[in-house]
Amino acid sequence: MSPWQSIKNLFTSGYSGKSVTSSDAMSQSIGSERGARPTPENQLRYLYDQLTVTTELRSTILAIRSLDKLDGRVKKIHGRMARDLTKGGLKIYWRGKENKQITKLFEQLSTYCLWKSRGKLESDAKGLIKEGNLAVQIAVDTQLNINKAVRMPSETIYPNVTPSGIFKSVHEAYYQKDMMSHEVQATFPLWKLVLTRLDPENFDDLGSMGRPLLDACRETLLKLRMTETDLVVRRRQRAPLRFSHVLEGATKDELAVYRAENEAEQGDITTDFYSNKKGGVTAVQGDGNIGEINDVVHLLDTFYSGAPAPKGLFGYTEGLARDVLEDLKKDYFEELDAIQDMLANTYYEIFCLQLLLKGYNPEAYDFQVVFNERQTMTLNQRADLALKYQAMGIPNSLVWHTAGLDPIQVENKRDEEKDSTDPYPKVPGKKPTKVSITPGNAPKGESATSISE
């Protein structure tokens, strides 16, 4: 039995619930590691995981989701980042010699898993930045084809690890708990669930989950929303012009009737004062400092200083110099590229699993699964760099890749257009058409054309 057939049996055994010797050997190898990776508080949390459901990550994710629904700024950040991350779609990039069969398998997997759909890719990207984790469950049919890659709610997924942060068993690497009954709803072997973590406390600690992108900004945003609400209430209560009505000698009943008639014409807000002592109607000015909102500006700047993008990209452009904005945009694009690499690596792992199931060794082929467009450089900068590479004699495939285009797609389209514009295309099974032109051999000195097969 070939080694790759053994690996296929390992994956299918986890799928069917059986166990094999190679899997047990892997589990023993993982379990033989010594030393404690997690921090003391994480070790204590893993102990609690054995008894109940950990609500720390769940409460954070629910808070971020709630802010995404209620606050347009958070929704805009998540939406724009998801669009920028997935722009151009996925592709397979060959650093070595291309294998047509591997490329074909990637196209098939992209079709089955809906990776050609912009909505699917954006949903995965939003899940990663909102939840801090992207948990993708893999579904395999009886023909060993991966036909689905479904995003799971990561707040219900728990790594089944020891207090040292290593998996107890590859057959039950992750489990899903019900938040109400605290019962385990499902278990996942290591191959069946691909988990990508954003900013984990310790990457080598397999039980350390990621954090939502705006987790550190959450408290500041809550203060900002509270202050904005207080500001509106303050304007409503203290800004209007008030009057002091004094009806000297009036009884309480007469004063009440006067007040009722006067307020009926004012509207919903009661702004005046009434007295039956000596005096008259006197104007009382509103709050003179109502326009001072420096506390809101401070909280807004604090929030966006921890956000991945500058506030100038989301409409707050007052007092922002263009050169400063360019520097902040560069930092934003670099962070996008880092998250994009993490997201693409998720699809790379799934595709490697598909190759293993089909009997191919992924390490025998030099390729990557990447997104078609990066954000670090503009389109003009990419085109300019590609032209310089071409002048240096760089291979065309690398030139097209630098320009942000898929070399395979470019060559395929070029061949299609070449055939479509050829008046005498080559037909399989037939001799090629011969076209000969003899100048001056036709009447009136025109060229004679001869067509033969």
Element (H, E) at 399: helix 396-402
Minimal CA–CA distance to 404: which of 429, 377, 364, 439? 377
- List CB contacts of 204: < 8 A, sequence separation 6 or more: 37, 165
How crowded is residue 418: how many other Cβ atoms within 10 Å of its Cβ?
A: 10
pLDDT at 68 over 70: yes
Amino acid at 324: V
DSSP 167: B
Domain spans in the chain, listed from the N-terminal domain onward: 3-214+332-368, 240-285, 378-452
Of 44 and 60, the structure prediction assigns the larger pLDDT to 60
Instruction: Give 282's pLDDT tier (boundaries 50, 70, 90).
Output: low
Q: How far apart are CA 97 and CA 28, in angstroms?
A: 37
Taking only the tens place, the pLDDT of each residue in 248-267 is 777 888 778 877 877 766 65
What is the pTM assigned to this prediction? 0.69
Taking only the tens place, the pLDDT of each residue in 344-366 is 999 999 999 999 999 999 989 98
Of 286 and 181, the structure prediction assigns the larger pLDDT to 181
Count Cβ neighbours within 10 Å for each residue of 36-66 and write b for 16 or more, e otherwise: ebbeeebbebbeebeeebbeebbebbebbbe
pLDDT at 436 over 90: no
In contact, 115 and 144? CB cutoff 8 Å = no
- How many Cα neighbours within 13 Å face the side chain of 370? 16
In contact, 402 and 382? CB cutoff 8 Å = yes
3-state secondary structure of 161: strand
